[in-house]
């Protein structure tokens, strides 16, 4: 099986803070890969490094077999790799209609046939064309996240970088968005690299995952191993216990 995204010994340094410290992962094509860890562990930084949004100090990033330049990427890269952010309230332009928001990536990449593409993208995320001329403040959190997914899909990428795509949503809306993501992955054969602090979400969505802590990968394992409790690192075990909910010690 071929590798869609890989990182080899990647280090990211912000001034004198090492946000990523020699991280390596490999994501198989058409699969979902999860990054888990607490805030500050570097999981989002790794996504941002791949997207070209973080200063890579050393190491090598590869997408679809091509090594990426540290800073500037070509246009084909930005079409092939798209990102969905955590906060649907902050990631959509407040003064643009959904139509205008979806025109933007088409204009950047010089894609024709905007009408049909926008209609198709909205349809694919389950919104329908009725939403086309609304503003993002007229939508609920779940609907906004659907727009963000539509905006990523409209340029037909092969890789989606998902940064906590459902953690700002209610549980029931989270289920709808996760189902949508699984659906589009099946339909389009997409590769997902997904950051989440919720082990339930990650094991539901991903086949493989990496547990991160203070800029390093603590453990790489399959979701099946995690579920079965075949865990090596103490830290991963702590995360497992924590995600099972509160347990009263002195009952």
CB of 141 to other proteins, least distance (A): 7
| Backbone torsion region of residue 117, taken as left when φ is above 0, otherwise alpha when ψ lies between -120 and 50, otherwise beta | alpha
The answer to whether residue 243 forms part of the interface with other proteins (CB under 8 A) is: yes
The answer to whether residue 176 forms part of the interface with other proteins (CB under 8 A) is: yes
CB of 140 to other proteins, least distance (A): 9
Candidate residues 120, 204, 216, 220; the one interacting with other proteins per rule CB under 8 A: 204
Candidate residues 45, 203, 208, 236; the one interacting with other proteins per rule CB under 8 A: 203
Tokens of 130: 């009725």
Candidate residues 69, 76, 108, 242; the one interacting with other proteins per rule CB under 8 A: 242
Termini Cα distance of the chain: 50
CB of 33 to other proteins, least distance (A): 16
Q: What's the rounded Cα separation, in Å, for the pair 239 and 204?
A: 16
- The closest alpha carbon to 45, from 65, 62, 21, belongs to 21
Candidate residues 183, 216, 222, 232; the one interacting with other proteins per rule CB under 8 A: 183
Q: What's the rounded Cα separation, in Å, for the pair 144 and 140?
A: 6
The answer to whether residue 227 forms part of the interface with other proteins (CB under 8 A) is: yes
Candidate residues 1, 107, 116, 171; the one interacting with other proteins per rule CB under 8 A: 171
Q: What's the rounded Cα separation, in Å, for the pair 251 and 245?
A: 15
The answer to whether residue 30 forms part of the interface with other proteins (CB under 8 A) is: no
Longest dimension (CA), the chain: 65
3-state secondary structure 14-50: ECCEEEEEEEEEEEECCCEEEEECCCCCCHHHHHHHH
| Unique residue bearing structure tokens 């790489």 | 220
Only one of the segments 7-15, 43-51, 95-103, 191-199 lies at the binding site for other proteins (rule: CB under 8 A); that segment is 191-199
Question: Under the rule (CB under 8 A), what is the footprint of other proteins?
Answer: 38-39, 141, 170-176, 178-179, 182-183, 197-201, 203-205, 226-227, 238-240, 242-249
């Amino acid at each position: 099986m071929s590798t869609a995204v890989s990182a080899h010994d990647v280090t990211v340094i912000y001034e004198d803070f090492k946000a990523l410290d020699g991280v390596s992962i490999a994501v198989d094509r058409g699969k979902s890969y999860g990054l888990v860890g607490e805030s500050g562990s570097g999981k989002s930084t790794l996504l941002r490094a791949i997207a070209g949004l973080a200063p890579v100090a050393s190491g090598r990033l590869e997408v679809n077999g091509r090594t990426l330049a540290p800073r500037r990427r070509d246009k084909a890269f930005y079409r092939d790799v798209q990102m969905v952010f955590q906060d649907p309230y902050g990631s959509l332009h407040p003064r643009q209609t959904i139509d205008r928001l979806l025109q933007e990536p088409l204009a950047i990449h010089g894609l024709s046939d905007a009408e049909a593409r926008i209609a198709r993208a909205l349809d694919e995320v389950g919104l329908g064309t009725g939403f086309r001329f609304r503003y993002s403040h007229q939508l609920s959190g779940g609907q906004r996240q659907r727009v963000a997914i539509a905006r990523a899909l409209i340029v037909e990428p092969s890789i989606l970088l998902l940064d906590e795509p459902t953690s700002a949503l209610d549980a029931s809306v989270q289920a709808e968005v996760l189902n949508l993501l699984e659906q589009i992955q099946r339909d389009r054969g997409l590769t997902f690299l997904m950051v989440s602090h919720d082990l339930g979400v990650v094991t539901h969505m991903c086949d493989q995952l990496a547990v991160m802590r203070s800029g390093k990968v603590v453990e790489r394992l399959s979701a099946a191993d995690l579920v079965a409790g075949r865990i090596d690192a103490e830290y991963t075990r702590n995360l497992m216990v924590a995600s099972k909910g509160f347990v009263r010690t002195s009952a």
